[in-house]
Amino acid sequence: MPTLRPLPAAPDPQREKAPATAKGQVADPQKIPVDIKPSAIDGQGVFALQAVPARRKIGEIRGESVSTAEAFKRAKALEKSTGRVFMIAVSNARSLDATQSTDPLRFANHSCAPNMVLKVQQGRVAFYALRDIAAGEELTVAYGPTHHAGRLACRCGAPGCAGRL
């Protein structure tokens, strides 16, 4: 998976509070139930199991915080070994390596007409619905510039597809 580039974070008036957890437990970052299954776009994709209203937080991705230089190094190695890259740039200096993450949104495929937006807020990587999303619909995001630098064919199939990642 190409490196995701976040859009600038904007205040979210409907921002949800993290659920209360017992001391020492980490809150589940997934707000909307999803399923991981084969995608017509590429490999595995993530699909909404219920309808999602526009602007609703869908969930987050967690991972290891690494330098951008380390992220590029890891992405190159991952691409050679598995063909799958799960890196998200959170700033010019830092990236999130979600390779070992169990969070399902790491399987969000690219689309030139996405139904989600990725936002980085206080170092956290969250996904929000850009429009109403139907139950069963694949959840997609626009990756933006990637480490592929236009060398990878886009397979999203959206009208007006840019053709390259």
Question: For residue 111, is it within any domain?
Answer: yes
Question: For residue 99, is it within any domain?
Answer: yes
Give the pLDDT score at 82. 63
Give the pLDDT score at 91. 83
Domain that holds residue 131: 34-141
Question: For residue 68, is it within any domain?
Answer: yes
Question: For residue 93, is it within any domain?
Answer: yes
Q: Model confidence over 99-127: pLDDT tens digits?
A: 888 899 989 999 999 999 999 888 789 99
What is the Cα–Cα distance from 96 to 129, expressed in whole angstroms? Answer: 21
Question: For residue 152, is it within any domain?
Answer: no
The enclosing domain of 93 has a CATH number of 2.170.270.10
Give the pLDDT score at 39. 96
Question: For residue 3, is it within any domain?
Answer: no
Give the pLDDT score at 38. 97
Question: Stretch 148-159: mean pLDDT, rounded?
Answer: 82
Question: For residue 41, is it within any domain?
Answer: yes
Q: Model confidence over 40-60: pLDDT tens digits?
A: 998 899 999 999 999 999 999
Q: Is the pLDDT of residue 150 over 60?
A: yes
CB 9 within 8 A of CB 94: no
Residues 6+ apart with CB under 8 A from 112: 142, 154, 156, 158, 160, 161, 162
Q: Model confidence over 65-74: pLDDT tens digits?
A: 999 889 888 8
Report residue 98's pLDDT band, with 50, 70 and 90 as the boundaries.
Answer: confident
Give the pLDDT score at 8. 42
- Alpha-carbon dihedral 110, 33, 29, 155, rounded to 10 degrees: -10
Number of compact structural domains in the chain: 1
80 membership: H or E segment, kind and range: helix 68-81
Give the pLDDT score at 13. 39
Question: For residue 6, is it within any domain?
Answer: no
Q: Is the pLDDT of residue 12 over 70?
A: no
Give the pLDDT score at 144. 73
Q: Model confidence over 13-39: pLDDT tens digits?
A: 344 444 444 565 556 788 899 999 999
Whole-model pTM? 0.77
Give the pLDDT score at 68. 86
